[in-house]
């Protein structure tokens, strides 16, 4: 039954009961109009899905009188009412209609790519057992770019990968058998992902040559596969490529020979891959090369690449994860959280229109709890997109269960007040606040070559949820989870109820037994899993939490701290600057307070630390009980996978509980009010 692990949410489980006959009658004949590569994959998907779900092989024709008619607006123009024509003409190129009219079901897209999304929507409705003869759906994505970043390396490893090795590369070569890449493209298209970068943002020696004829023929093959599913391919690049590839003496972005080198290189790429999306760039951070070497700034570096890409409608996605990784963290005037805003805000208006700044959702690094980055929306004249992390680097590494959709929704719903009340992150990255030419959402992928793709079977929900949320941020965490559960495990009320409860509780549970009140980190340096309370990535510069015998937390206030709170617009600036108004769950991110400081719930900080860590461990034990109750309702392979992961999670939670409580008991000298054992 390992194939069930492999197929994730495209199980296409057999339909039975009263729904079957109605679905079968509808799908006896399907009119599929058009003959593009995308239309071919639609045909393939229909055959797979209908055979598995309905036990019939649909007759695929071009008969416009068929019960189901699928095509783009040009192909179906004569069949549509004027009202429907006007409706679809007003949509973006990815918009579609799904409606029932005079005994026929229509899937009509603005383009073939939109038709593909509409077809997957239809198949999802069948998996969810929805009635089709009353459909009247109009859909288009909220976000223009809906991207995944693969951090895969040519040797087959994945930086921050927790699901096996790369599906793209092995042993220093691009994989020969690309069938799994096609399945990955299917999964991504089914949830509306439309862009992917296929190599690590930290581009090392050999990966630099991906933009040369040594690798471009095979990368074209990969691009063609993803293009057939509406997913545009990008490559991460080494900013110093002119030196590394052709031994130029410089990579200075303002030197004519460097500009010409990139112009020639981009032309070569597009000669191989006409549908190429552009470059993802990490520069001048964590020892990666960039324009700082030549006393240039980020706008100089990004614009040079943008000029080379502009004739081909290519884009530069320039990551804002830029900070001095060897800074003295003990210096009051040094604050890694300030870095992105301090670097990029002064450059607003200087970037070319095909440059997009990619900004992590928080100012630090994908912590279980941190504030929203103040840079998002702060640059009115510069395209921006937000970056999430589907890979659970700091949230359990797909050993521990942590359903991340509630966290991402909280970020997207955050009101920046940059343009007054209602200036949410959701609206900013959708391009509805500032006149961005390009915007959207990107995320670090969580897949590898494990049989189930994500290591932890339940971690598939994060990938599924990411796609659904980027398409439509108004979807609820519970709604998304239910969709995933039914498609993945079948229609089973008890199973749905138990897994739903596990998913929706999991973020809070993980936060309970790890770093408290927004302080973050406390993880083993380099590994980023398991507790190390005083751990710091660059060890000689102290800790992130500044705990001493009197208190804990980082002072980021205007008056006595790093001044980070000043990067926010009012009223957030004032709310965060005062411990009395700062939300408790971010208190230690913004303030250094005594251990006996009283939270809004009436507990002291130290008692909150004790209580949440004991509680988190008990909650993980309950997760195990809930899952074990489902043993007879789930196939052995998936049941055992999750059972083993939950056992690992309990070990991890116990270690966190013991170490955190012991550390702060010894640091503060304050006993637990409930007299529980602390070693």
Mind listing the pLDDT tens digit for each residue in 225-236? Answer: 999 999 999 999
Residues 177 and 105 in one domain: no
Domain of residue 390 covers: 145-476
The number of angstroms, rounded, from the C-alpha of 609 to the middle of its chain's C-alpha atoms is: 30
* Res. 544 pLDDT band, cuts 50 70 90: confident
At residue 286, the pLDDT reads 76
| Tokens read off for 149 | 């970043």
CATH number of the structural domain spanning residue 88: 3.30.379.10
What integer is the mean pLDDT of 602-625?
98
Q: Is it true that the peptide bond before 492 is cis, omega within 30 degrees of 0?
A: no
Inside any domain, residue 423: yes
Tell me: do 278 and 417 sit in the same domain. Answer: yes
Query: Strand ranges (DSSP E) for 130-287?
Result: 136-139, 145-149, 169-170, 173-174, 195-197, 232-237, 278-281
- Is residue 217 in some structural domain? yes
Q: By CB neighbour count within 10 A (0-12 exposed, 13-18 middle, 19+ buried), where does 569 fall? A: middle
**pLDDT tens per residue across span 298-355:** 999 999 999 999 999 999 999 999 876 656 555 656 798 999 999 999 999 999 999 9
Window from 68-82, 438-452, 475-489 with minimum mean pLDDT: 68-82
Q: How confident is the model at residue 400 (pLDDT cuts 50, 70, 90)?
A: very high
* 125-162 residue pLDDT tens: 999 999 999 999 999 999 999 999 999 999 999 999 99
- Number of structural domains the chain divides into: 3
Instruction: Assess if residue 586 is contained within a domain.
Output: no
Query: Is residue 94 domain-shared with residue 149, that is, in the same domain?
Result: no
**Which active-site residues does the annotation give?**
286, 365, 393
498, with CB counted inside 10 A (0-12, 13-18, 19+), is middle
- Whether residue 474 is predicted with pLDDT greater than 80 in this model: the reply is yes
pLDDT for position 542: 62
For residue 574, is it within any domain? no
Q: What is the mean pLDDT of residues 248-260?
A: 98
Q: Which of 427, 455, 476 corresponds to the end of one domain?
A: 476
Nearest to 356 by CA among 431, 410, 265: 431
Show the tokens assigned to 490.
């079948």
Measured CA to CA, the distance from residue 281 to residue 443 in angstroms comes to: 14
Same domain for 156 and 116, yes or no, is no
Reply yes or no on whether the pLDDT at 583 is more than 70. Answer: yes
pLDDT tens digit string along 55-103?
A: 999 999 999 999 999 999 999 988 888 899 999 999 999 999 999 999 9
pTM comes to 0.98
- What would the mean pLDDT of 39-54 be, rounded to a whole number? 97
Tell me: do 131 and 149 sit in the same domain: no
| Percent of the chain residues topping a pLDDT of 70 | 97
> 479-493, 505-519, 542-556 — which is least confidently predicted?
542-556
pLDDT at 84: 92
Same domain, 416 and 517: no
CATH number at residue 662: 3.90.1330.10
Residues 521 and 400 in one domain: no
Task: Please tell me the predicted confidence (pLDDT) of residue 325.
Answer: 61
Partnered with residue 540 across adjacent β-strands are none
Residue 599 pLDDT > 80: yes
* 369, 342 Cβ separation under 8 angstroms: no
d(CA 656, CA 619): 13
* pLDDT at site 639: 98
CATH of the domain at 393: 3.20.20.80
Q: What is the largest CA-CA distance in the chain?
A: 80
Task: Tokens for 209, please give them.
Answer: 């040559």
Among 303-312, 327-336, 472-481, 491-500, the least confident range? 327-336
What average pLDDT score do residues 251-261 get? Answer: 98
401 and 502 Cβ atoms separated by less than 8 Å: yes
Residue 17 pLDDT exceeds 90: no
pLDDT recorded at residue 537 = 72
CA–CA separation, 148 and 206 (whole Å) = 22
């Amino acid at each position: 039954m390992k194939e069930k692990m492999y197929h994730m949410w495209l199980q296409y489980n057999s339909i039975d009961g009263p729904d079957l006959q109605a679905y079968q009658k509808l799908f006896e004949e399907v009119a599929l109009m058009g003959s593009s590569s995308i239309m071919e994959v639609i045909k393939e998907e229909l055959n797979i899905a209908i055979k598995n779900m309905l036990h019939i092989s649909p007759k695929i024709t071009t008969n416009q009188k068929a019960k189901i008619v699928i095509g783009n607006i040009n192909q179906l123009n004569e069949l549509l009412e004027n009202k429907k024509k006007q409706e679809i003409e007003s949509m973006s190129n990815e918009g579609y209609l799904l409606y029932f009219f005079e005994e026929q079901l229509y899937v009509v897209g603005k383009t073939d790519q939109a038709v593909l999304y509409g077809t997957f929507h239809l198949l999802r409705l069948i998996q969810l057992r929805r009635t089709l003869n009353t459909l009247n759906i109009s859909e288009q994505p909220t976000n223009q770019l809906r991207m995944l970043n693969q951090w895969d390396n040519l040797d087959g490893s994945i930086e921050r990968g927790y699901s096996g090795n790369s599906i793209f590369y092995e042993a220093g070569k691009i994989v020969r058998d690309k069938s799994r890449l096609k399945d990955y493209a299917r999964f991504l298209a089914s949830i509306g992902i439309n862009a992917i970068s296929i190599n690590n943002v930290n581009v090392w020696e050999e990966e630099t040559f991906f933009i040369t004829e040594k690798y471009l023929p095979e990368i074209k093959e990969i691009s063609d596969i993803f293009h057939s599913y509406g997913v545009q391919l990008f490559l991460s690049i080494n900013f110093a490529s002119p030196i590394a590839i052709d031994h130029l003496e410089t990579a200075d972005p303002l030197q004519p020979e460097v500009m010409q080198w990139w112009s020639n290189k981009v032309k070569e790429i597009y000669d191989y891959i006409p549908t190429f999306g552009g470059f993802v760039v990490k520069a001048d951070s964590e020892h990666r090369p960039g324009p700082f070497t030549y006393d240039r700034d980020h706008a100089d570096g990004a614009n040079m690449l943008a000029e080379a890409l502009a004739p081909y409608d290519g884009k530069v996605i320039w990551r804002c994860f830029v900070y001095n990784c060897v800074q003295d963290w003990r210096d009051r005037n040094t604050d890694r959280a300030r870095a992105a805003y301090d670097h990029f805000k002064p450059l607003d208006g200087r970037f070319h229109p095909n440059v997009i700044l990619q900004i992590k959702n928080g100012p630090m690094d994908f912590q279980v709890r941190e504030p929203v980055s103040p840079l998002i929306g702060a640059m009115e004249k510069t395209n921006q997109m937000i970056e999430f992390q589907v890979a659970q680097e700091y949230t359990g590494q797909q050993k521990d269960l942590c359903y991340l959709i509630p966290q991402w929704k909280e970020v997207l719903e955050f009101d920046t007040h940059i343009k007054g009340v209602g200036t949410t992150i959701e609206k900013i990255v959708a391009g509805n606040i500032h006149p961005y030419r390009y915007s959207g959402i990107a995320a670090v992928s969580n897949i590898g070559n494990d049989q189930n793709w994500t290591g932890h079977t339940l971690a598939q929900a994060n990938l599924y949820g990411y796609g659904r949320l980027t398409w439509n941020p108004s979807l609820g965490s519970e709604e998304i989870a239910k969709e995933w559960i039914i498609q993945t495990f079948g229609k089973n009320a008890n199973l749905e109820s138990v897994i739903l409860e596990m998913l929706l509780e999991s973020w809070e549970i993980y936060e309970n037994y790890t770093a408290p009140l927004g302080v973050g980190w406390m993880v083993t340096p380099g590994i980023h899993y398991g507790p190390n309370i005083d751990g710091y990535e660059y060890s000689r510069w102290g800790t992130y939490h500044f705990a001493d015998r009197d208190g804990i937390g980082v002072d980021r206030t205007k008056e006595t701290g790093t001044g980070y709170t000043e990067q926010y617009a009012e009223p957030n600036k004032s709310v965060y600057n005062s411990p009395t108004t700062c939300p408790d769950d971010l208190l230690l991110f913004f303030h250094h307070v005594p251990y006996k400081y009283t939270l809004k719930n009436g507990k002291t900080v130290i008692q909150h630390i004790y209580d949440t860590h004991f509680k988190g461990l008990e909650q993980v034990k309950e997760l195990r009980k809930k899952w074990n109750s489902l043993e007879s309702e789930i196939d052995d392979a998936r049941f055992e996978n999750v059972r083993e992961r939950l056992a690992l999670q309990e070990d991890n939670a116990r270690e966190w509980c013991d170490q955190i409580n012991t550390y702060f008991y010894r640091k503060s000298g304050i006993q637990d009010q409930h007299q529980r054992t602390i070693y």
